[in-house]
């Protein structure tokens, strides 16, 4: 391909650019009908209490099953939907679906846990966000304490009045708030003083670095002790092996999430009746549940 057509670099570059632009435009166009055509689903990944093995929460992660292109990961279409504003209606669908599913689990008699929903900064800054959220909780009859919103550090840069009011109103409403991918964004610790978050989620990249040696361990344990001192909970993301788990347990990390416990799965594929027995086994290093 490149040999045939690529007589100069500029041609290749602009062709690639055009392809990428075309792909994005296709996705943006197709996103318009995706909610209506029921092309989205949510997968759920448990967040485990590292002391007891209990499920403390489930994180809802969106999947787009595109009619022609197949499964498209959120990292590819969420940014596009943020640019176009479509994230507002997609995000509402996510909230409704996730809250309804959590209510369903409760009605099925499982010990209750929080449902964690990723919220884009764009969504959170929408003036109707809190109102919409309140309506969803009422409609799905889910108590606010069973909902947690995950936002990234970029939210902390948006020092707007709407945002401040929203955060206060959410607190009053009783939902929890956590900072996702902690440590990768524009962290300024002073922001943590101004807003009160319930939890931080240590970014997966630091957990991956634990085995690599000193830096991964130092950063991870520093975030854990920072969270402890600020009276916030702390979750390790992306735990994939027992070395990571052992270190995190030793450092008193509260909760953990990752393929080691379970991949994100459709709701009906989680064998909740077997939790926490199989998780305790995996914490003790005997088996890795739900993974092949």
Residue 177 interaction partner, one of Mg ion, ligand C2E, none, beta carbon < 5-8 Å per kind: none
Residue 78 interaction partner, one of ligand C2E, Mg ion, none, beta carbon < 5-8 Å per kind: ligand C2E
The token pair that represents 24 in the structure block: 């994005």
- Is-contact 27 232, C-beta < 8 A? no
Sign of CA dihedral 99, 103, 108, 109: positive
Residue 258 interaction partner, one of Mg ion, ligand C2E, none, beta carbon < 5-8 Å per kind: ligand C2E
Q: Does 166 bind ligand C2E (CB under 6 A)?
A: no
Residue 175 interaction partner, one of Mg ion, ligand C2E, none, beta carbon < 5-8 Å per kind: none
Q: Which residues contact 81 (CB under 8 A, 6 or more apart)?
A: 28, 31, 87, 90
Residue of 101, 118, 221, 262 that binds Mg ion (CB under 5 A): 118
Please give the backbone phi and psi of residue 46, each rounded to the nearest 5 degrees, phi first: -70, 150
Sign of CA dihedral 273, 277, 282, 288: negative
Q: Does 120 bind Mg ion (CB under 5 A)?
A: no
Q: Does 61 bind ligand C2E (CB under 6 A)?
A: yes
* Interacting span for Mg ion (CB under 5 A) from 15-23, 110-118, 163-171, 207-215: 110-118
- Is-contact 264 44, C-beta < 8 A? yes
How many CA atoms, within 13 angstroms, populate the side-chain half-sphere of residue 190? 2
- Is-contact 64 39, C-beta < 8 A? yes
Q: Does 181 bind Mg ion (CB under 5 A)?
A: yes
Residue closer to ligand C2E, measured from CB, 18 or 83 = 83
Return residues touching ligand C2E (CB under 6 A). 45, 61-62, 73-75, 78, 91, 94, 118-120, 150, 180-181, 204, 237-240, 257-259, 264
Return residues touching Mg ion (CB under 5 A). 118, 150, 180-181, 237
């Amino acid at each position: 391909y490149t040999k045939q057509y690529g007589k100069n670099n500029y041609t290749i570059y602009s062709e690639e650019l055009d392809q990428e632009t075309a792909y994005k435009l296709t996705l943006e166009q197709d996103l318009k009908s995706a909610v209506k055509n029921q092309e989205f689903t949510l997968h759920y990944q448990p967040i485990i209490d590292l002391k007891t093995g209990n499920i403390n929460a489930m994180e809802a992660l969106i999947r787009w099953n595109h009619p022609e292109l197949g499964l498209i990961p959120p990292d590819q279409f969420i940014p596009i939907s943020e640019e176009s504003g479509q994230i507002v209606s997609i995000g509402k669908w996510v909230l409704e679906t996730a809250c309804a599913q959590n209510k369903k689990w409760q009605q099925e008699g499982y010990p209750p846990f929080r449902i964690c929903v990723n919220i884009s900064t764009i969504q959170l800054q929408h003036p109707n966000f809190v109102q919409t959220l309140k309506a969803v909780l009422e409609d799905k009859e889910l108590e606010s304490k069973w909902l947690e919103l995950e936002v990234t550090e970029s939210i902390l840069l948006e020092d707007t009045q709407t945002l401040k009011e929203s955060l206060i109103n959410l607190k009053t409403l009783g939902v929890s708030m956590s900072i996702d991918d902690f440590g990768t964004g524009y962290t300024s610790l002073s922001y943590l003083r101004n807003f009160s978050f319930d939890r931080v989620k240590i970014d997966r990249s630091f957990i991956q670095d634990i085995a690599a040696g000193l830096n991964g361990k130092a950063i991870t344990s520093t975030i854990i002790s920072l969270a402890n001192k600020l009276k916030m909970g702390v979750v390790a993301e992306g735990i994939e092996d027992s070395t990571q788990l052992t270190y995190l347990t030793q450092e008193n990390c509260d909760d953990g999430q990752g393929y080691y416990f379970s991949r994100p799965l459709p709701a009906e594929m989680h064998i909740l009746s077997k939790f926490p027995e199989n998780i305790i086994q995996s914490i003790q290093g005997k088996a890795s549940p739900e993974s092949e």
